[in-house]
Amino acid sequence: MKPAFRFRAVLAAIVTAAALLASAGQPQIAKAEPPPISSHAVASSVIDVASGRIVFQERGDEQLRIASLTKVMTAIVAIEHGTLTDTVKVGPAAYGKEGSSIYLHLGEEMTLHNMLYGLMLRSGNDAATAIAEHVGGSVEGFVYLMNEKARSLGMKHSSFKNPHGLDDEGHYSSANDMAVLTAYALKNKTFQEIVKTKVKSAPNPNEDWDYRWINKNKMLNMYEGADGVKTGYTTLARRTLISSATRGGQQFAVVTLNDGDDWNDHKRLLDYAFKHYPSTSIVKSGERVQSPNLVVARSFDYPLAEGEIGELRKKIVLEDQTTTDYRLGMRGKLELYLKGERIASLPLFEDGSSRYKAQEQATFQFAKFEQEQRHANFADIFRTLLRAVFTGETKEG
């Protein structure tokens, strides 16, 4: 070997050895992904309730029959458009409805609130029909509300034909869509309270004893922190299940469609989500993000797997001074991206400004007023309109 070649070879070896020695004591940044997991379901989805991030899915967008998981939509539409203290009267269409039942009598009256417990704990198809007729003015009117809600939530693979989930041509959803719906519904306190209830009693006008409904959702007793949501079964849909659980302030929901081993699968999928996708603080309210004086108006947490924190990117977008938002005190937005996808857009204000606090208070008060007005007026008005459209009648009774 010539001296020049020998020198270059020795130098290359020294450089390589030095690089190896330098890196030996350095921590390696692992882009570790959670280990693979699967279920026995035809389709499945796991969602972080607070953020709406789907952390796992298999065939999540496939359109399938969902059986009584339908009643999650029935319940949230009824809660939002109805009045819980209303008295619901059982008509001929609800009385003796096939499938699972809470055995309501023809002409029986029950509060909407109690009927929702019968709907979600015992999966009463008679309750579903009675609720639909009361809140929507007719079953058809209520189904219209269900599909409007699906559209507003971005459920692109769903079509509802009835309020109970009995097999019906054109009645379907997907695991991902039902996960999105469930995450939305679980933010409603009335819905939360109903689906986590293990046993509920309600007045029974036809007997000397009260109704006593035991929740069919075995996950409430099988899994630590379980707090919902709904079981389902029909001959064509097979076993369907939505469960939710909260641990350490973080809540996940799991959806499986056509799963012969759903209880065990849900325990495994919940364990997987809690272990591999813990809620991670990304920014704190009041945190300074740009010199000299911009701060984030609210905190943001997000479920991240190990290694994903290094894939977060932040982008500051300054507000045009001619906009209304700027005049109201907002100076820009902090946009957060994970793997190129935007996951949040947080308002920025000047450090020390009280404008964002005033804006938050105003927003809260408006939302509260809007909700009260909707509950007080909108349900009655909309029921009347739907009744006129679908039945030709303008009065109840």
Q: Pull the structure tokens for residue 65.
A: 């029959």
Q: Which residues contact 294 (CB under 8 A, 6 or more apart)?
A: 288, 316, 331, 332, 348, 349, 350, 351
Q: Which residues does the annotation mark as catalytic?
A: 68, 71, 123
**Alpha-helical segments (H) within 196-261:** 219-222
Amino acid residing at 91: G
Query: Which tokens go with 296?
Result: 């984030």
Contact call for residues 69 and 165 (beta carbons, < 8 A) = yes
Backbone angles phi, psi at 165, to 5 degrees: 100, 5
Using CA atoms, how far apart are residues 100 and 92, in angstroms rounded to an integer? 17
Mention every residue, 6+ apart, whose C-beta is less than 8 A from residue 245: 219, 223, 224, 225, 226, 227, 251, 252, 270, 274
Measured CA to CA, the distance from residue 183 to residue 191 in angstroms comes to 11
Task: Kindly give the residue spans of alpha helices, DSSP state H, lying in the chain.
Answer: 3-24, 70-81, 112-121, 125-136, 139-152, 175-185, 189-195, 219-222, 262-276, 324-327, 355-373, 379-391
328: left (phi over 0), alpha (psi -120 to 50) or beta: alpha
d(CA 250, CA 280): 10
* Sequence-ordered alpha helix ranges (H) in 186-341: 189-195, 219-222, 262-276, 324-327
Listed in sequence order, the residues at least 6 apart from 116 whose beta carbon sits closer than 8 Å to its beta carbon are 75, 78, 79, 84, 127, 131, 190, 194
- Residue 30 DSSP class: -
